Structures are given as structure tokens and as C-alpha cells.
Structure 1
Amino acid sequence: MSATEVLQNSDKSLAEHAKSRYDASVRLSVAPMMDWTDGYCRVFHRLLAPNARLYTEMVHANAVIHGDRAKLLAMDPVEHPVALQLGGSEPALLAQAARIGADHGFDEINLNVGCPSDRVQAGRFGACLMREPALVAEGVAAMIAACDVPVTVKCRLGVDDDHEYARFLAFIDTVAAAGCRDFIVHARNAWLKGLSPKENREVPPLRYDWAYALKRERPALTVVVNGGIADAGEATAHLDHVDGAMLGRAAYHDPWLLHRLDAAWYGGPVSTRADVLRAMRPYVERQLARGAQLKHISRHWLGLFQGERGGRAFRQVLSEGAHRPGADWSLVEQAIAVTAARPPEAHGFDAVGASAQK
């Protein structure tokens, strides 16, 4: 489906389309990112990449069970296929939250075993669970029993001074024995002391070879690699070794990268930046009519014209105008007008797509 078709289809046809392409969507996905991958962001990313798999921000199981579900689990039908990422370590609570997520229509429930923040450690979930594989396996088994959608795990290679591949493989094998077949591997260790979450995304060295070895030695598992993927060439190269590439900050700061990869890997149409953004208009106007503020929606678009003539002016118009009372779609048209948007050039697409048609 093109960006326009995504917004024009009915809820039923969208759901059917999502199911039919769920397996293929593993090739390209966007990482769950706190404070970034909210619903507004995910709708934008869906228009850029109609075939990619999207993930929510991490939500703790307790919040899903006891919190404001209408807000925490808000999802527009155009987002499919979309996964709910859960945090937590108590199997019974994870099972209850997974069931709620599946009942709300999420296509996948993902367990976070990679977040290194102090708050997460204090709550005994996230990356510190890499040292408790039996507990992770118990939680995964409970989640699988509680819901009828795939349950997946996003993990690190280890924590702190865990530098033995055998320990990482033993973690995977333990969790796989509980029924998990899909692993997203952020190919770094998490350093639980001395580094901030931001530094944990940059300082620990990347070891993609561990993810490659995992796929080679456990071919029945689905392995997606994440961490440090900065451009189309790097993303495509990973497909020679694993089942998919998950992009994080690169997809957020340079969202056009998502469109290039989706078009190249899945053979879809190539749009212009302006056309993709204008496809957002019906959704944006619905949200504004419900009381949303443009600044909360448009903040995810600021990198759309990165590297293009007029890109800085585009960001400036949106940044300065979207927070003003009454800001509406006319401001978006003003921002588009200051760009020198050109149709995407064909060169480079063959290169990023060469290894993707698997």
C-alpha cells in the first residue's frame, strides 16, 4: 500500500493487510524509543514505510493493568503491524498485560530485556534481566499462554563485563525453550553502572558478529539486529546475516531513510517528501478536531527534509509556529512551501535493495 492508500483503507482491510504482511515486516522495523515513538510518530512512520514493523514506547505491565489504557494503549488502525513493548519481570503481571495488549489489537507483544536506566534497574526489569534467564523464560511462557499474538524479546548481548558469547547463547536458548522464536538483539552490552541510558546507546562496543552467529547456529529463530545502524548501506548489509534490521535514532532524525529502505526492500512506489507529509493531513485534522496540539504531532517531522535545500527553513517554520494557539494545517503548507523539495533520485535504490529481496 502507498501512503495515501494506508489512510484511505477501512479498519477491516487494514487489519487483514497487516496480518498478511506481518512476517515480511520483520525485515524492517523501527525501535521502541521512549518519548519518541508515540502514536503521532508511528502514524508518520507508517506513511513513510508501509511495510515496516512499528513498536510503541515501553510501557510497564503495571501501568497497562492499572493505568489509563485509553492513553497508554492508544493506537490508530493505520499503524498495523504494530507491537506493544512491555517492561516488567513478574510473570503473572506480564501475562495479564500481554492479554490486555492483544485484546487492544496489537500484532505482537515484545518484552524489554535491554533498557539500562537506573529506574528500570530499581524495578528489576530491562537489561538487568539478562542475568536472570530463567525468570525471563517464565515470563515469556506466561505471556505466550495468555495471548494469541507473537511474543518476542528485545535484549542486549549481556551486562557489564559479560563478554562470553556462550553466556549470551545460553540466555537465548533458555528463553527460546519457553516458546519465544523471535529475538531483537541490540548488539551491545548494557553497562549498568557509570553510564547514562544515552551513553549506553553509544559507548559499549557493537558486536554484530554475535547476532550473526546466533542466526547461523539457531537458524529456526528469527533474529533482528539493532544498534548503531546509521544508513541504508549498513541496514542492507545486515540482511546477508540476519532476518531483519531495526532502526532507532537514524529513523527518527532522518525519517526519509525509512521511505528509501521500504521502497527498495519491498518494491513499493517512491513518493516525494511533500506528498508523504500531505498524506498526513486527514489524520492531523482529525487529531486537531479532538483537541490535540499541532506541536505534539509535528515534532516528529522536523528531520524530514534533512540534507535538502530548505530543510533548515522547514524545521524553523514548524518549530516556531506549531506551539502557537490555533496552529493548523496551513502552517504545514507554509513549511512545505519554503523547501526546494525534489522527487527522490533513483540512484542508490538498487544498492540498498540488492540484499533485501530474500
Structure 2
Amino acid sequence: MNLANHARLSIAPMMDWTDRHCRYFHRLMSREALLYTEMVTAPALVRGGAVHLLTHDPSEHPVALQLGGSDAQELAQAARIGADHGYDEINLNVGCPSDRVQSGCFGAVLMERPSLVAECCAAMIAAQPRDVTVKCRIGVDDQDPADILPQFIETVAAAGVTRFAIHARKAWLQGLSPKENRDIPPLDYDLVHAMKRQFPALHISVNGGVETLEQARAFLDAGLDGVMIGRAAYHNPASVLLAADPVIFGTGSTRSATEIVHDMLPYIDAHLGAGGRLHQITRHMLGLFTGRPGARQWRRILSEGAHHDGAGTEVVLRALDAIAPQAHLAGDRNV
């Protein structure tokens, strides 16, 4: 499997969002894009035995496990567990700005400790056969990104990491909330391009503020190796993923949102049959028809109906019935 090629477009790891149900849904829209888990902490796997967090469907591949932590040996054990569970890549989180990860000395705070990141990555690489990658920020707090980011990349690359996804914003660990850190620090795409020029042998993906396939295509055409899209792919998945394979990878064809809904039904039935609840899946599907006729009714019917005891695929089909006539009248062929 050529992960570097799949990483031309990837869906960012997002806490509480990119769980296994979300990834299955996204995979139906794109066979090529690289998918990521939510961040799983190394202590949860190694000390807590929380291997249930690694459950995934075989159809999700290519899929990467993102780990959080700062203890090299513990991360090495967690990476080995992830590889044993079949993940195609192990990614180290060096970008999350939440208070919880700061107190645990992992996430974005590790931008201040490149030698420790290199030590962790070297241990992870030695422990298992999968690619080890890093998702990072351009800096934190009062750091000068133009000075520290090249040093960070050089140090970590020397440990054997060849692929970096760079969120093109600083993280302000003092003064901004995690939510504010996703929007307020200004984007510096020029610095990410500069990193690719400075380290041409490395695979460099840009993350942050990318909302459309047209933007992604422009970054690739400008010389970057990959584009990682987060919130736009979650809130409006059809706009990002339905045409991703032909536009970004030159393979396959564009599918319709209605086809995706019907393809989800057997998966939903299986989940319900195993004791799951409908809303655990449909919460990830709310944005599928964003911007299209009937989208509000689709969201309302799913939001209100999926939480009821015994709710099943009939709720999904009722929501689809509410949107399809309006879409037909509007002449929307992508529905």
C-alpha cells in the first residue's frame, strides 16, 4: 500500500468525531483518501488496556491510528499494539492544544521539545513495521515559527520520520481555548511551502482552513505532497469526499449522496443488531446534504428520530424521503 499517495488527501483526526462509524461513512465516499482515528492516548492502551478503542472495519483501510503521549517506551508499546490491530500508519499528535494534553506533556506542548519527539518517534519506528508520522503545529506561544519549525522538522526527521502533516497555525497554550486555537491564530501557508522547499525529500501535508477540493488541488499543484482536511470534511462531507477520487487521485467516479445513504443501511442494521444505537452513526451523517434542498429536514428528522428507543433504518429512509423530492425539483443531480 502506497500511503504517501493516499496521503495526497487525508481526513484529519478529530476528537469525538472521527470514530469508526464516521470513518466507515467517509470511506464509502472515497476509496483513496487516508483516514485517521481520533487521538488515542498511549497510557489508555498500555496501562488501561483500552484496546476496544482500536476497533475498526476492514473497509476503512487505508486508516491511521493517532497516538498521544510523551513517554517513548509507552508510545512504542502503543504503536506495536496499533500495528498488531492492523492500522496502516501510526501518527504522533504534536498539535492538540487542550489543557488535558498539556498537563500530560503531549500534544502541541511537544513543539517545545523536539528532541523528546524524536526519541519517541525513534522508539515507535523500532517497535513495529508501520510508517510513523507526525502531525504538528508551526509553533506555540511566543515561539518564532520561522526559526523553530525547521529545527523541529530536521530533528524529528533525523529519527526516521518522513511524513509530516503541518497545521499552519500556532497553538496559543496560554490565553486561547482549544476551540479558539482552531480559528484565531492566523494561518501561515507560506511557511508550510517553505518547509517543502527546505526539505524536498520529506512528504509535507498542509492542514488548517482548507475547505474545498479546489483549494486542495491548488496546494498539490503548488508542490505540497498532501492536504489534510478536518472540519469541512465532517460538516459538509459530500463537498469534500464525493469527488475526491477523480479530482485528487485520478481514479473512480463521483458518487451521489443518496447512494451513500443506501450503502450505509446494512452497516446500520448490523450495528443495531449488535446492540448499538442509531444516533451513534447518524450523528456523523447530518451534514451529508449541506447546502442542498431539504437539508434542514434531513437534519431535523435524523436528530429527533435517531435517539428514540428502537429507532432503525426507517428513520434514515424517512429523512431521505424528505429531501429527495425537493432535490429532484431543484434539478440537483448530485443528491
TM-score band, normalised by the shorter chain?
over 0.9
Cα pair 1:223 1:244 within 8 Å, conserved: yes
Q: Write the letter of the residue equivalent to 1:133.
A: P
Q: Is the 2:213–2:247 Cα contact (8 Å) retained in structure 1?
A: no
Q: What's 1:307 paired with?
A: 291
Amino acid of the structure 2 residue aligned with 1:83: A
Once the 2 structures are TM-superposed, how far is the Cα of residue 69 of structure 1 from its aligned partner?
Answer: 3.4
| Counterpart check, 1:287 vs 2:280 | no
Counterpart selection for 1:241 from 223, 240, 255: 223
Percent of paired sites with the same residue:
55
Say which is worse superposed, 187-196 or 155-164, in terms of deviation: 155-164
Amino acid at match of 1:317: I
Change (3 A) 1:44 1:164: closer
Q: How far 1:71 moved relative to its partner? A: 2.0
Distance apart, 1:68 and its partner CA: 4.5
- Counterpart of 1:210 in structure 2 is 191
Q: Which residue of 2 aligns with 1:255?
A: 237
Partner in structure 2 of residue 14 of structure 1: none
Contact 2:4 2:203 in 1 (8 A): no
| Equivalent residues, number | 326
Partner of 1:265: 248
Does the Cα contact within 8 Å between 1:28 and 1:262 map onto a contact in 2?
Answer: no
Q: Tell me how far apart the structure 1 counterparts of residues 114 and 254 of structure 2 sit (CA, whole Å).
A: 43
Superposition pairs of residues 1-358 of structure 1, within 5 angstroms = 19=1, 21-239=2-220, 240-256=222-238, 257-266=240-249, 267-340=251-324, 341=327, 342-344=332-334
Secondary structure at 2:7's aligned position in 1? helix
Structure 1 letter corresponding to 2:224: V
Q: CA deviation at 1:164?
A: 4.1
Aligned partner letter, 1:258: L
Q: Which whole-Å CA distance do the structure 1 matches of 2:91 and 2:196 have between them?
A: 19
Q: CA deviation at 1:232?
A: 2.4
Summarize deviations over 1:115-163 as a string: whole Å, max 9, x none: 1111111111111110111000000000000010000000000101212
Return the offset for 1:272: 1.2
1:70 CA displacement: 4.1
Q: Is contact 1:61–1:94 with CA below 8 Å preserved after alignment?
A: yes
Distance 1:246 1:172 in 2: 18
Gaps of 5+ in 2: none
Does the Cα contact within 8 Å between 2:265 and 2:313 map onto a contact in 1?
Answer: yes
Shift of 1:67: 2.7
Q: Secondary structure at the match of 1:56?
A: strand
Is the CA contact (8 Å cut-off) linking 1:160 and 1:192 kept in structure 2? yes
Alignment-mate amino acid for residue 309 of structure 2: P
Q: Could you tell me how far apart the structure 2 residues matched to 1:99 and 1:203 are?
A: 36
Measure the CA separation in 2 of the matches of 1:156 and 1:297: 30
Query: What is the rounded CA distance, in whole Å, between the counterparts of 1:138 and 1:261 in structure 2?
Result: 36
Query: What 5-or-longer segments of structure 1 have no aligned partner?
Result: 1-18, 346-358
RMSD: 1.2
Q: CA deviation at 1:50?
A: 1.1
Show the counterpart of 1:3: none
User: What is the SS of the residue equivalent to 2:109?
Assistant: helix
- Contact 2:245–2:254 under 8 Å retained in 1: no
Q: CA–CA distance in 2 between the matches of 1:68 and 1:254?
A: 35
The separation in 1 between residues aligned to 2:3 and 2:272, in whole angstroms, is: 31
- Check conservation: 1:27, 1:243, Cα contact below 8 A: yes
Runs of 4+ aligned residues of structure 1 deviating over 4 Å after TM superposition are none
